Amino acid sequence: MATLEEQLGGKDRADSWKQFPWWLVAILLFLAYMAWLIITDENYNEAFQFIIGHIGDIEDLLDGEVLAFIGQGISLTLYITIVTFFISILLGLLAGLGRVSKNTFIRNLAITYVEFVRGLPILVLIFTLAIVVVPGAVDRVGGDLQAFPNATRGIIALSFFYGAFMGEIFRAGIESIPKGQFEAARSLGMTGSQSMRYIILPQAIRNILPALGNDFIAILKDSSLLSVLAIREITQLSRLHAGSTFRFKESYLVLTFLYLSMTVALSLLLQWYGRRLNTNER
Amino acid sequence: MNGRTMENEIIVINDLHKYFGDVEAVKGVDLRVKRGEVIAIVGPSGSGKSTVLRCINHLEVPTAGAVYIDGVHLEDKATKINSVRAEVGMVFQQFNLFPHLTALENVTIAVRKVRKRNKEEANRIGMEKLTRVGIPEKADSYPRQLSGGQQQRVAIARSLAMDPKIMLFDEPTSALDPEMIKEVLDVMLDLAKEGMTMVVVTHEMGFCRAAADRVMFMDDGQVVEVAPPDVLFKNPTHDRTKLFLSQILVH
């Protein structure tokens, strides 16, 4: 007869076998195989070199030509993702605060924005904003359309889209804070905006960090849609490479490899961060 | 009146009514509190006692009636409610400490942002108040690292740091484990002895006897009777008071 400890130990071992992240092994094997192909196969290597692209001269940056410095390929994809992420956080914060505002006009303005965006396919929004609204608005105020290259318009469209979704995240985060927190702040004489800034938002933002991280990954993936604006990020470069060499397999498998390695790395980072946050809470 | 002779009234409540939807929670309450007086509000749950308390610092807006704090009419549109609230401390049943701030930061945040004191000055005040409630060594702890009794004492220090004229307590010991009730009541007793004006919603009859100048018994949104504790507990005049007291004193 096995002792209780032995039985439990055995059960633990069986469970740890079941809990092991086999999915991660499968994905890492795929990524390793692709990496091996890229290193050893001339055609894959050529596709890879073309798609990751290159950054521009440091002098462009010094001249203030940021997009010229960012260049094309992976650097442009990351630039679009990061800039879009921060603009949409700002828009989302405003939309979220608007949604919980007592002011009827501001609240409805925020709801209109969120519902408008949620009712549209992202591709339609990209076309409409980048090709119609931004040029139209720039024209109307007599601005210089040269200052709004396609990449900038693409970032505006993506930010507008994700700002609405982040607005809902911020709203949920704010509403997740118990009413007593607001009451305690108000009873100490804080104004509504002081209570929001010093008491509610710091707690809300902590709660929504994982959700914001997920949106970062979503923006990274959806930046590929900007290839419809002929922005030379990695998806567009893959299409160009496939079109000029007819090596579709190499082009799109390398593209898959690039996105997947970035998203898996980010999502593991997020999981690690989420666990750390949870242990700190205790 | 425990020998206190101050005649000026710091809280005046006139014919207070409060509806929540169709339910009338408070049905015409009058109360006059003198400076330095300690009023205990007792009564069965749902009797409207917490609502009356929350109307005193306008966390609830009365449906009808008037509340004056130190002569200032709270329902007046010209009244700056935030500056009145800064003078009225409130301690909640569930403590409502700010979990993202340390004990000291909890105590100092309003001193800095509302009273506009600099950090050193606020920290000095904060440590003084934490010392007064007996837990200066917990200044750098976060609320989740504190026991319920310690959390409630930090909450009291947080209100005291604003140097309030009035302290309101909304069932401050009801969420505490029995062994922690005393440490909070001791702090409240000290406050009462030092002459703080206090309005306390409580089920602690021992505290009422020891500290209250008057006990107000409420039932069904109305004041049934107001009397000094020895009178109310020994010779209640109303049947409803007798019934309530017999129910809680049995336990």
| Phi and psi at residue B181, to the nearest 5° | -65, -40
| Phi and psi at residue B19, to the nearest 5° | -100, 140
Name the CA dihedral angle for A73, A76, A82, A88, rounded to a multiple of 10 degrees.
-120
CB contact under 8 A, B96 and A183: yes
pLDDT digits (tens), chain B, 251 positions: 333 334 588 999 999 999 999 999 999 999 999 999 999 999 998 899 999 999 999 999 999 999 999 888 998 888 888 989 999 999 999 999 999 999 999 999 999 999 999 999 999 999 999 999 999 999 999 999 999 999 999 999 999 999 999 999 999 999 999 889 999 999 999 999 999 999 999 988 889 999 999 999 999 999 999 999 999 988 888 888 888 888 876 55
Q: How far is A208 from chain B (nearest CA, A)?
A: 14
pLDDT at A281: 59
pLDDT at A235: 94
Residue among A181, A189, A203 whose CB faces B85 most closely: A189
Chain B residues with CB under 8 Å of A203 CB are 98-100
- Decide the pairing of beta strands A72-73 and B214-219: unpaired
Can you list the residues of chain A whose pLDDT is less than 50?
282
**Residue A219: which of A89, A106, A90 has the closest Cα?**
A89
Q: How far is B86 from chain A (nearest CA, A)?
A: 4
Q: Can you tell me the distance from the alpha carbon of B81 to that of B120, in angstroms, rounded to the nearest whole number?
A: 28
pLDDT at B6: 43
Q: Which residues contact B117 (CB under 8 A, 6 or more apart)?
A: B111, B125
The reply to whether B158 touches chain A by the CB within 8 Å rule is yes
Complex ipTM, two decimals?
0.91
Q: If you measure CA to CA, which chain A residue comes closest to B164?
A: A188
Q: Can you tell me the distance from the alpha carbon of B248 to that of B251, in angstroms, rounded to the nearest whole number?
A: 6
pLDDT at A12: 60
Q: How far is A279 from chain B (nearest CA, A)?
A: 13
Q: Which tokens hold the place of A26?
A: 């499968």
The reply to whether B20 touches chain A by the CB within 8 Å rule is no
Residue of B109, B152, B158 to mutate, testing the A interface (most A Cβ within 10 Å of its Cβ): B109
Percent over 70 (pLDDT), chain A: 94
pLDDT at A66: 83
Amino acid in the structure at residue B52: V
Q: How far is A93 from chain B (nearest CA, A)?
A: 20
The reply to whether A5 touches chain B by the CB within 8 Å rule is no
Contact B128, B139 (CB under 8 A): no
pLDDT at A45: 92
Q: What tens digit of pLDDT does each residue of B51-82 get?
A: 999 999 999 999 999 999 988 899 888 888 89
- Residue B239 burial (C-beta neighbours within 10 Å; 0-12, 13-18, 19+): exposed
pLDDT at A263: 96
Q: Can you tell me the distance from the alpha carbon of A269 to that of A86, in angstroms, rounded to the nearest whole number?
A: 19
Phi-psi region of A53 (alpha: psi -120 to 50; beta: other; left: phi over 0): left
B75-83 long-range Cβ contacts below 8 angstroms, 24+ apart: B82/A186, B82/A189, B82/A190, B82/A191, B82/B114, B83/A189
Q: Which residues contact A93 (CB under 8 A, 6 or more apart)?
A: A166, A167, A170
User: Where would I find the beta strands (DSSP E) of B21-156?
Assistant: 23-34, 38-42, 64-69, 72-73, 88-91
Amino acid in the structure at residue B96: N
User: Where would I find the beta strands (DSSP E) of chain B?
Assistant: 9-20, 23-34, 38-42, 64-69, 72-73, 88-91, 166-170, 197-201, 214-219, 222-227
Residues B220, B225, B227, B229, CA torsion sign: negative
User: In A, residues 145-184, which contact B (CB 8 Å cutoff)?
Assistant: 178, 180-181, 183-184
Q: What tens digit of pLDDT does each residue of A6-19 get?
A: 555 555 666 788 88
Q: Can you tell me the distance from the alpha carbon of A223 to that of A216, in angstroms, rounded to the nearest whole number?
A: 11
Amino acid in the structure at residue A230: A
pLDDT at A17: 81
The reply to whether A234 touches chain B by the CB within 8 Å rule is no
Q: If you measure CA to CA, which chain A residue comes closest to B107?
A: A188
Q: If you measure CA to CA, which chain B residue comes closest to A197?
A: B113
Q: Can you tell me the distance from the alpha carbon of A62 to that of A116, in angstroms, rounded to the nearest whole number?
A: 39
Q: Which residues contact A87 (CB under 8 A, 6 or more apart)?
A: A155, A159, A163
pLDDT at B46: 87
Strand order in the sheet with B9-20: B23-34, B9-20, B64-69, B72-73
Residue among A180, A189, A202 whose CB faces B96 most closely: A180
